[in-house]
Amino acid sequence: MSFLAEEARRVQSRLVQWRRHLHQNPEIGTEVPQTAAFVAGRLREMGLAVRDGVGGLGVVGLLEGGHTGPTLAIRADMDALKVTEETGLPFASKHPGRMHACGHDGHTAIALGTAEILASHREQLQGNVKFIFQPAEEGPGGAKPMIQDGALLNPKVDAVIGLHLGVIWDLPPGTVGVRSGPMMASTDRVEITIKGKGGHGAMPHQTVDAVAIGAQVVTALQTIVSRRVDPLEPAVVTIGSFHAGTAFNVIADTAVMQGTVRCLRESLRQRMPEHIERMVQGVATGMGAEASLNYRPGHPVLENDPEFTAFFAGVAKEVLGEGKVVTLSQPTMGGEDMSYFLNEVPGTYFFLASGNPAKGIVYPHHHPRFDIDEDVLWMGVALFAEAAWRWLDNQA
């Protein structure tokens, strides 16, 4: 085991302490002032140059190595979810309706632990390590504003790495999942409004029923994936919200639907608005109604750089052992705004399995009983630190 991995083990208790503090005090979206202040305070204690208020309440810590060289960025997200916690943990959220139900408390603790270890060896670093702590990964998106505010500049970032804890893939605790190319889907959003003609429920022939038309639209949209998209190319069109009507015996004149569109290839993603528009307009016009589509692009496809991913996989095998690193055969249709960073510079985003059935840690992300096995926190630090150290050394 490398000296960095040994040091990661030694800071495990501090990682748990930080993670539990963050877990008890979750903040939502772009409004993460206490979390950002906590992160900035720890980074300053470690001697890093800190810039806060980046793209809102983002925090960037710069560790300048003792030797001139390139810059590698380590990214962690800080925000929680609008979920009321039901774990019963002694360090459960103090705030009903707010919970770290996606592992971001662990991500932040791991990045802080990595900063502490590498800071103690700064004179040996062959370049710089930039630590990017972003808000609003769960929405509305914190990566893009931070990039626009210069998070990847001064000094310019040459590569980036990030991780996700949880149980997305069915892997034993402490197993690392890696994948080159597309790993997570784009996350676009649609809102469809159907305008018909309301009337009495007993006289449907005098109306243009927005509910009936909306139901046909929902059904028709499913044929986009089954009949308009190459069956070997993954895509998802999901309508998750349908609102119409005010009374049991009144035919609604308006129906509003909201949903999400997921793709793993940018070229398909660009075609989806046209497919949906044609389908919606065709159904609505054919049934005597008017329709409008508001298509809002979200996060792009998350694509890992093949060369950097292969490098990282090799590092992970040396740090944790060959059997602890798995090449993921399938991506996920979940999304992540880490994709914006990977669109700007090469790098990789990997999965560190933190579920543990033996401990009852089996619930998925965004569930009120979601938890992580804290025993894997040191592994995240070891992986980040070793990858940063070796990558910088390889560039020298």
Catalytic site positions: 79, 137
Neighbouring residues of 306: CB distance < 8 A, sequence distance ≥ 6: 180, 181
**CA–CA separation, 354 and 370 (whole Å):** 11
Q: To 5 degrees, how large is the angle CA 109–CA 114–CA 116?
A: 95
Report how many helices (DSSP H) and strands (DSSP E) the chain contains, helices first: 10, 16
User: What span, in angstroms and rounded, lies between the C-alpha atoms of 284 and 214?
Assistant: 8
Tokens describing residue 130:
């930039």
Q: Is the dihedral of CA 162, 167, 173, 177 positive or negative?
A: negative
- For residues 110 and 381, the answer to whether their CB atoms sit within 8 Å is yes
CA neighbor of 360 nearest in space, from 174, 211, 167 = 167
Nearest by Cα to 111 from 157, 160, 179, 70: 160
Reference 383, options 78, 154, 74, 94; nearest CA is 74
CA distance 134 to 139: 11
Q: Please choose, from the candidates 177, 143, 155, 176, the residue with its C-alpha nearest in 3D space to the C-alpha of residue 72.
A: 155
Nearest CA among 268, 254, 350 for reference residue 308: 350
User: What phi and psi, each to the nearest 5 degrees, are found at residue 64?
Assistant: -90, 120
C-alpha 133, offset from chain centre: 13
Structure tokens at 208: 């243009």
Question: Around 82, how many Cα atoms within 13 Å sit in the side-chain half-sphere?
Answer: 6
Which residue matches tokens 């894997």? 376
Tokens describing residue 278: 């044609």
CA 297 from centre of chain = 16
Reduce the DSSP state of residue 57 to 3 states and report it. coil
